[in-house]
Structure 1
């Protein structure tokens, strides 16, 4: 039984899934469907309206044509009446003017019949109307011919009736027959005109209803379209707000992580400085004592064996020289780890000593712009500035191929500024973007951890300029710029 239930529920689940997918597709594509339907309906409505317009135009033309034919038939009837009146007037008065007027009227009648004949033979009327009009033409010609013959017979002398055509003695047609036929044709044209006008009015009503329905439907579709667009805009706005909220949260998280990393970096640097200080102290105390004691013992042995064992004395002299080199190396290592000049004499003296030693080692021309008196800063700021200067001079010695270096230090407005420049090849823009330059990153981290600003750029026209600005948290002696030191080159 469970298997049967599962088999029966599987198609239902499939149908529900298909319906859900269809509903989702309709919801996401509703604006496109509405726009397509609106376009199709608009185009169809325009086609219907254009067709109705053409039909109305044709029906109006038919009505106008029927009215024109009706007028022409009425004119023909009046001309026939005038023809009979002029004939009767001549028979009574024998006035030749009436005879000539009879011929003029006959000529106008023939012109009218020619126009009507073109209409009836062009397909504007049915076969019965054409047959009736053909019969009228024959009757009218007989009527004109008989009238002309009657005028000639009644005239006291022969008349010039060439304008009337050929006179004929055929019995004239009954005027009532001609009038009744013309009336019948006139009534037919009146009915045709009325029918065409009624059809055109019906088409106008249909066109009006179609245009109104098309406009209403388009209004509804556009309302739905704009509503859907409004819903989508609201949805996008909500998503945008969510993204902004998430971005703000990520920014806060990044800022918090950055602060933590800066604090960690500063802590690691502080730990490193403390370890360097402790190691330097142990090297100074322990290793210094060992090397000093060893030097004293070797010197005593050298004095004792100088005369009795010259060979051994020579070896001891060499050992003394090696001990002196070891003591100097120990001092240099201690100075690199924890400058005693910085600890004992302050930042200004330490920078001056650092610059002098670097200039001697690298044969540089040194320019110093340092305060006349030492300044009092907190220990961590002094260490950071000294390490930046130390790293900058090391990089200048390794990569810059410089011949001139300047160091400047200024204090004022609660801020201490350090400027170091050389005239070497200059740092390249690509070097500023590299992330594995640990020396630059270390300097930036030291300065940023203390709330300072670090900038390195290519000099003009060459060389490298380094600017450091850090807050001064303790009082300091006002900064005084010294004039540029006299360039001096001291060989290594």
Structure 2
């Protein structure tokens, strides 16, 4: 008959349900949906757990079967060995009787020696059989064996006594008549035959049981393997569905990641262009401010110094106290003029514009070394090379910031400055022998000096690296193309 979907009303449905306590169809649908979702998520775990349990159970069953089969084979082997020992015992007892009869008929010294050798073999066989029957715990067989052992011991004792001295005359006939009767030997042989039959049955029963266990183990292994195959087929089918779904999701994520990477790349190019624009604006403002300070403040300070010097010259003889004050004012004006020059040099170094990067770096490092007591090692080109105003300013500012940081934090005693220039790239390296930058400081985003240097270099399409020097100290390396890269010429986004 056709299946009824959960959302379809049952046949012959009425407005009032027959059982008011029955759950609503919507509740059943929700529970079924939750169960399906749970099975979809965790079916692989359930299948894997069941497979593991089945595998472990199968291993336990196989191991127990192996132990039983080994025990049954051992029982069969011991029973076969007991049968062989019983046969040997019967043959040896018969040999004892034969040796006695031979000695009674002919007093030959070989019969007593052979008798003693056979008696020792009989005792060893009796000891082995006694230990065997006690180990297996067969009381009936042990009672029968006890009678056989007593008869064998009596036979050995009597035979030993008869063979103690060779018979002479009438004693030969008496000793021959005193040998064990035929019915006694027949009874002993029958008891031994019965024990041999029991042991053969025991061995056969053990072999039959082992074969049955082998068949049962084979059937269990086949059933477990079939069940595991079914479970793994279901598991791999579900895994294939999950992998297909995961591949689709991963493909969608890769597409989104590519779109985000493109967006980030575009925004990064725009930010680099913005950083370069801001640096250019900052340099232009510094240049303008340096020009104002040089033209306006410099002329004011120079005129003030000339006036104060003229007044001091007039009052030098008549008013020595006032002349001394004016001399102090001249010193303050000289300090102001020097401060103005230093500020102008920091904002727009004239030596860079006048003589080039090599001379400017040498002058900058020499002044820093004099202030901080450093020894300096230069590796610079012999002649100044023109690299373009933007590149020279960027490298000079990086050197400025590096030397400032070294003076503040490094506690260094030696500075090495290296500048390499080829047809395509220019690289600057500054190394100190101070305490070295800490690894956590390399990851700090609040370090404005490092961030500013990175942005200044990346805006020119260059590479900025900072690391701990060996054995101690800090090494800063900058490499950038001699011509401005295409990335720095990206158009600014409109406001």
Provide Cα deviations, 1:451-470, integer angstroms capped at 9, x if missing partner.
Answer: 22222233333333322221
| 1:303 CA drift (Å) | 2.7
Provide Cα deviations, 1:204-262, integer angstroms capped at 9, x if missing partner.
Answer: 9xxxx999999988776654443222111211222222233333333333333333333
Aligned to 2:315: 305
- CA 1:36–1:399 in 2, change beyond 3 Å: closer, same or farther? closer
- CA 1:19–1:318 in 2, change beyond 3 Å: closer, same or farther? same
Higher mean displacement: 313-322 or 209-218: 209-218
Aligned to 1:22: 35
Count of aligned pairs: 318
From 255, 277, 282, the equivalent of 1:245 is 255
Inter-partner Cα distance in structure 2 for 1:224 and 1:216: 13
Inter-partner Cα distance in structure 2 for 1:430 and 1:221: 52
1:418 and 2:428 aligned: yes
Aligned to 2:458: 448
Provide Cα deviations, 1:145-204, integer angstroms capped at 9, x if missing partner.
Answer: xxxxxxxxxxxxxxxxxx9xxxxxxxxxxxxxxxxxxxxxxxxxxxxxxxxxxxxxxxx9
Provide Cα deviations, 1:261-311, integer angstroms capped at 9, x if missing partner.
Answer: 333322222222222111111111111122122222222322333334333
- CA 1:297–1:232 in 2, change beyond 3 Å: closer, same or farther? same
- CA 1:363–1:32 in 2, change beyond 3 Å: closer, same or farther? closer
Matches within 5 A, 1:50-449: 223-449=233-459
Provide Cα deviations, 1:90-123, integer angstroms capped at 9, x if missing partner.
Answer: xxxxxxxxxxxxxxxxxxxxxxxxxxxxxxxxxx
Inter-partner Cα distance in structure 2 for 1:41 and 1:452: 64
- CA 1:352–1:218 in 2, change beyond 3 Å: closer, same or farther? closer
| 1:329 CA drift (Å) | 0.4
Inter-partner Cα distance in structure 2 for 1:414 and 1:345: 22
Inter-partner Cα distance in structure 1 for 2:238 and 2:386: 70
Inter-partner Cα distance in structure 1 for 2:48 and 2:401: 68
- CA 1:360–1:12 in 2, change beyond 3 Å: closer, same or farther? same
- Residue 470 of structure 1 aligns to a residue in which SS? strand
Q: Rg larger in 1 or in 2?
A: 1
Inter-partner Cα distance in structure 1 for 2:412 and 2:270: 38
- Residue 383 of structure 2 aligns to a residue in which SS? coil
Inter-partner Cα distance in structure 1 for 2:444 and 2:368: 27
- For structure 1, which runs of at least 5 residues remain unmatched after alignment? 48-162, 164-203, 475-492
Inter-partner Cα distance in structure 2 for 1:364 and 1:34: 73
Inter-partner Cα distance in structure 1 for 2:382 and 2:228: 87
- CA 1:362–1:30 in 2, change beyond 3 Å: closer, same or farther? closer
| 1:326 CA drift (Å) | 0.6
Matches within 5 A, 1:40-59: none
Provide Cα deviations, 1:3-58, integer angstroms capped at 9, x if missing partner.
Answer: x99xxxx94543433332233234334445667888999999xx9xxxxxxxxxxx
Q: TM-score, normalised by structure 1?
A: 0.55
- CA 1:347–1:235 in 2, change beyond 3 Å: closer, same or farther? same
Aligned to 1:112: none
Provide Cα deviations, 1:373-416, integer angstroms capped at 9, x if missing partner.
Answer: 21111211101111111122222222333333222222114111
From 443, 463, 468, the equivalent of 1:458 is 468
- CA 1:341–1:12 in 2, change beyond 3 Å: closer, same or farther? same
